[in-house]
Amino acid sequence: MARTTQHMRRDWGSISCVRQGVWRLRYWAQTDAGYRRCSETIRGTRKEAGDRLAELRVIHTHDAPCPTLKTCWERWYLPDRERMVEQGDLSPQSLAQYRSTWRKHICDRWAKMPVDRIRPIDVQQWLLGLKRVAASASMHLMRQILDYATRYGILASNPLSIRYLLPSKSTTTPRENDVWSPDELGDVWKACWGSWIEPAILLSGFGSCRVGEALGVRAYDVQSLNVLGVPITTVRIERQIDGGANVANRTKNRWSRRTVFLAGRPAQRLWHIACMAEKDAFLCAPPCREHATQRELRLEFSRLLEQEGVTPHLFKNLRKTWQTNMRWVVRLPPWAIEPMMGHVGEGITGRHYDKPSDQLFAELLAEAWTAHPFADEYAWLP
C-alpha cells in the first residue's frame, strides 16, 4: 500500500508529515538564485513545525504580520539562551533571572506589542515607572530581544539602543557594601571557629572565594605546600553550590575556574580541616547533610556573629574584605589580585598571554605574607 502523507496547506507555505515526528516545510522565497520554491525538513511536533514555518515567513516575506515582542522572546531569544545553558556558556541562574525580569517587568506591558510599534517615548515613560535596578535590567533584556528583530531585517534599528533616562537612585535601596578591618576579620573567624561554616569563612575571607564557590569545595581539592618557609594551602575551584542549592560542576565563567591560595595560620587551619574530612566530602556542610545551601550558610553566619557580638555585614562581603586586605595590608599588586579572584586580566595580555603558574602565585603570596603576616598575629589563635 502506498504511504499516505498528511498535508496541511497554510496561507503561506505548507507542512507535510513525512513520518511520525518528521515534517517537511515548503514555501516560496527570494534566494541568491532568484525567487524559487524552498523546503526544509525538521523533527518535532506539529506545533513546532508550524512555529518554524511562521518564523520562515517572518524572515522571507514582506507582507507577513510584524512579530510581537513575545514572538521574538519565544522564537529566538529564549531558545538561544537555553542552548547556551546546555553548552555551558550561560548559568541556569542567569537564565532564571532573565525569565523573572521578563515575567515581572516586561511581559504585561510589551508582550503583545508588534515590535515596529515600540516607540522610544513610550519606552521612556515605562522605564520611569520602575525602580532603577528593575529599569536597568529590563532595558538590557528588552534590547537583547529586539536585537533579533534588527538582525533579521524586521526593524531597521533597535529602539532600545538609544540612551534613556533611568529612575532616580533614590528608588533603589543601597546595598550593604562595608568590609571588615583586619582585626574585625579575626573576630569573624573566632566567632565561627569550630562551626560547620568555618571552612567557608577561611575560603572567602582569606582565599577570595564567592559564596557558591566556598560551599562547593571538596576535601580532595585542598593541597598543602611550604613555600619560602610560609605555609601555603591551595584550593582548586571547579564547582559551586548555586542559588538553587544544586551542585553545579561549573563556575561563574571560565576565568573563575582557578586555584586560590591561603597563607600562614588560615592556610594551616584549612589544611587541618581538609585532612579530618573524608576525601570526597564537602568541607562546608551541616551535620548529617552532604552540603549546605547558600541560605543556610548566610543564616548560620548571621546567628554566630550576633551571638558573639561581632560587627555584622553580608557574608559575600568577606570576598571584598579579602581583596582590600590583599591590596592594602599584604600589599599584593592589583595585577596579581585580579586573576586570584577569578577575574579576567586587562586587555589582550590579560586574556590571552599572561598565564602564570600556581607556583608563581604561591611564591608571590609567600613573599608578601612574610613581610605582612596580619592573620598570624591574632592573639586568640591556639
Closest CA to 343 of 330, 326, 366, 328: 326
Residue 6's pLDDT is: 58
Residue 217: pLDDT over 60: yes
Residue 103's pLDDT is: 96
Residue 86, C-beta contacts closer than 8 angstroms, at least 6 positions apart: none
Mean pLDDT of 193-222: 97
Q: Distance between CA atoms of 253 and 346, rounded to whole angstroms?
A: 16
Tell me if residue 152 falls in helix, strand or coil: coil
Tell me if residue 81 falls in helix, strand or coil: helix
Averaging pLDDT over each range in 129-143, 168-182, 241-255, which range is the top one?
Answer: 129-143
pLDDT digits (tens, 9 = 90+) for 27-36: 877 666 766 7
Closest CA to 186 of 266, 258, 259: 266
pLDDT digits (tens, 9 = 90+) for 238-297: 999 988 788 888 888 888 899 999 999 999 999 999 999 999 999 999 988 899 999 999
- Tell me the pLDDT band of 350, cut-offs 50, 70 and 90: confident
Residue 104, C-beta contacts closer than 8 angstroms, at least 6 positions apart: 134
- What's the distance, Cα to Cα, between the start and end of the chain in Å? 88
What is the residue whose three cell numbers read 591590596? 327
pLDDT digits (tens, 9 = 90+) for 74-105: 989 999 999 998 887 888 888 999 999 999 99
Q: Residue type at 89? A: D
Phi-psi region of 368 (alpha: psi -120 to 50; beta: other; left: phi over 0): alpha
Averaging pLDDT over each range in 4-13, 42-51, 319-328, which range is the top one?
Answer: 319-328
